Structure 1
Amino acid sequence: MLTFLLEFLAVSAGLLGLVWFIILMVSDADVPLSLRAKFGKQPESLAGKVVWVTGASSGIGEAIAYCLAESGCKLVLTARRKERLEKVKQTCLASAFCKVKEDDILVLPFDVVDFDSHEKKVQEVLEYFHTVDILINNAGKTQRAAWMDVELSVDRELYDVNVLGPVSLTQALLPHMVERKQGQIVVVSSLAGKVGAPMSRAYAGCKHAVQGYFDTLRTEMALNNIDVTIICPGPVFSEVLIHAATGKKGEVLDKPMAVTEKRMTANRCAYLSCVAIANRQYEAWVSQHPVLVLVYISLLFPDFGKWFMAKLGLKQLLALREGKQ
């Protein structure tokens, strides 16, 4: 009887593993998120929530704003460029699927590295909407240069934007959420925060740091009914390479993405991110293959993953991350 039970458990585990693998190979997100996109809560379940999105003037942040407006969320849109934020607001309102009014979208331009302004900006939002249900820390900057060619000033710049900006703004807002005993903090990290990406030491290092900061926050906020969701996108179409840092202070890459590259659209990434937020998922991986499966291999089998990455070589890895394959 015991032998039969063990054999049954082994077969069941094997079948479950096979089903999991099949779902992964036909998905563009981690398996739990793929299942939630099919059977879980949809972004429409967030209707009526006040959601603050940083980095909302372009790319993933802009697409998230459109998805949330169509889901009936009240929005706070933040970035440095006021004119771009106003354009995003008008595009939201012009959509035939938009479920909010003009007064439901607050344009609040400021730079996330202006740390001294964060408490004041939080008060402005609370005076306007009286509450914030979800903060989406999306503002960020990427970087491209060989490890040995990066000036330390570039590391500091990206750390301020990608790490301390979200940490400071979150810290300024948290007392409000703690007082209410509810809320959700979202941070857009990257798959480069799970597996080091070549030619991006400052960016990959920052995103690894983001994971540590916000995993820590999740544990501490559990008793206050405040969830933390970390979104980890892979290659996505956006303007990030135009504004990307290089290895020298003040220099930008100024490299637009080609439409032929193999990347996820910002709209698809935004939808999956909003599904993860609606289902209060702890962490979500959003990417096409082969990047997604490579990250799974690297984290499930660390030694093999590092060996395999080394065998693939720098040229091949760069081609994968830049959507060339």
Structure 2
Amino acid sequence: MLLLALPLAGAAAVAFLLFKFATVDGDLTLVSRGAPRREKVDGKVVWITGASRGIGEVLAMQFAALGAKLILSARNREELERVKHKIINKHPDSRVEVLPMDLSSGEESLKEHVHAAESLFSNAGVDYMIHNAAFERPKRRVLEETEKGLKATFDVNVFGTITLTNLLAPSMMDRGMGHFVVMSSAAGKVPSPGQALYSASKHALNGYFASLRSELCTKGIKVTVVCPGPIETPQSSSATSSSQRPSSEKRVPVERCAELTIVAATHGLKEAWISYQPVLGVMYLVQYMPTVGLWLMDKIGAKRLDVAAKKGNAYSWNLLFGGKKSA
């Protein structure tokens, strides 16, 4: 009986792991960490860019619930004030400051904003810098991209983000502590047909911040790079009706994405992936079996552009097993 039980137990364990991997919404290290650690952010100053909507807004709400002091930045002051009032209405004891900022405004302007942020909350400085702001264009073919689009994407996603980091990091090092949390993308880990410029900008961020971590980890500086796949935000749900989006497209809710981002940061993870299948599986393949993973992406590349143009499911297994690609 024992000899029979052991193979059955092994088969059951494998089946459980396969089921878990098929239904999980993040990489296995991330989802094993449990809840966010409140003690890591309670009373800390958290500066969030792109905080006027989407993931940034929800991150602000969740950090406030954990007792963080918030600095909210984006270009639209009115929207930032809306988020601030929303936070205070839900968490009356929260301390929230609004700091409007354009990441593409250049080094001198960003230097002034860093000085202002460091001076808030009785010159407490910034403990967590959440790089969430991003410029994303509609999906289009690589050869349709223009120099104007390239500049607009990199000015915000790369140059502005890196410049802000370079200006803020010295103050963090002087205090012997600081944490950069970078909202990258699955498109920064794998090819993303139809999003070449966005994907390139996120690959650039991944390379920069991985290098920054290695250089400054002994100076008390931490870096967490978060790579979400498709996320369900109020904007994405309103932009595409249920009749346009196939029911098989499953996006991680924005609240869950924000929660897992804070889990990754407060547990000190260096990198975290947030997505359902099939995107998560593709990320694992490209990371650990690149020949297979990149072959798979080549199979679906042109099909994904066709599906996206028809407002269909651009994250489906049907891209691999469905119809022929366009010429």
> 1:106 and 2:100 equivalent?
no
CA distance in 2, matches of 1:184, 1:217: 11
Are residues 139 and 180 of structure 1, via their aligned partners in 2, closer, same or farther at CA, if it must alter by over 3 Å? Answer: same
> 1:128 and 2:123 equivalent?
no
Residues 51, 132 of structure 2: 8 Å contact kept? yes
Q: Following superposition of structure 1 onto structure 2, how do residues 55-66 of structure 1 map, counting pairs within 5 Å?
A: 55-66=50-61
Q: Following superposition of structure 1 onto structure 2, how do residues 137-148 of structure 1 map, counting pairs within 5 Å?
A: 137-143=131-137, 144-148=139-143
Name the residue aligned to 1:264: 252
> 1:28 and 2:25 equivalent?
yes
Name the residue aligned to 1:299: 287
Residues 43, 274 of structure 1: 8 Å contact kept? no
SS of the residue 1:141 aligns to: coil
CA distance in 2, matches of 1:14, 1:178: 51
CA distance in 2, matches of 1:109, 1:220: 30
1:313: Cα distance to partner?
4.8
Residues 235, 323 of structure 1: 8 Å contact kept? no
CA distance in 2, matches of 1:211, 1:263: 23
Q: Following superposition of structure 1 onto structure 2, how do residues 35-184 of structure 1 map, counting pairs within 5 Å?
A: 35-37=32-34, 41-43=36-38, 45-95=40-90, 98=91, 100-101=93-94, 104-115=95-106, 116-129=108-121, 130=123, 131-143=125-137, 144-184=139-179
Tell me which amino acid in the other structure corresponds to 1:283: E
Aligned length: 297
CA distance in 2, matches of 1:128, 1:316: 46
Tell me which amino acid in the other structure corresponds to 2:173: V
Tell me which amino acid in the other structure corresponds to 2:112: K
Are residues 185 and 25 of structure 1, via their aligned partners in 2, closer, same or farther at CA, if it must alter by over 3 Å? Answer: same
Deviations 1:120-161 (A, max 9, x none): 111111221221100001000112211111112211210111
The range that moved more, 313-322 or 301-310, is 313-322
1:263: Cα distance to partner?
1.6
Tell me which amino acid in the other structure corresponds to 1:100: D
Q: Following superposition of structure 1 onto structure 2, how do residues 209-224 of structure 1 map, counting pairs within 5 Å?
A: 209-224=204-219
C-alpha RMSD of the superposition: 2.8
Match of 1:277 among 265, 272, 284: 265
Tell me which amino acid in the other structure corresponds to 2:215: E
Residues 52, 73 of structure 2: 8 Å contact kept? yes
Are residues 320 and 78 of structure 1, via their aligned partners in 2, closer, same or farther at CA, if it must alter by over 3 Å? Answer: same
Are residues 224 and 315 of structure 1, via their aligned partners in 2, closer, same or farther at CA, if it must alter by over 3 Å? Answer: same
Match of 1:232 among 227, 232, 256: 227
SS of the residue 2:252 aligns to: coil
CA distance in 2, matches of 1:90, 1:215: 36
Identity of aligned residues (%): 36
CA distance in 2, matches of 1:240, 1:215: 30
Residues 74, 100 of structure 1: 8 Å contact kept? no
CA distance in 2, matches of 1:187, 1:231: 6
CA distance in 1, matches of 2:34, 2:16: 17
Name the residue aligned to 2:278: 290
Are residues 136 and 29 of structure 1, via their aligned partners in 2, closer, same or farther at CA, if it must alter by over 3 Å? Answer: same
Name the residue aligned to 1:6: none
Unaligned runs of 5+ in 2: 1-9, 319-327
Are residues 112 and 240 of structure 1, via their aligned partners in 2, closer, same or farther at CA, if it must alter by over 3 Å? Answer: farther
CA distance in 2, matches of 1:297, 1:99: 46
1:320: Cα distance to partner?
4.9
TM-score (norm 1): 0.83
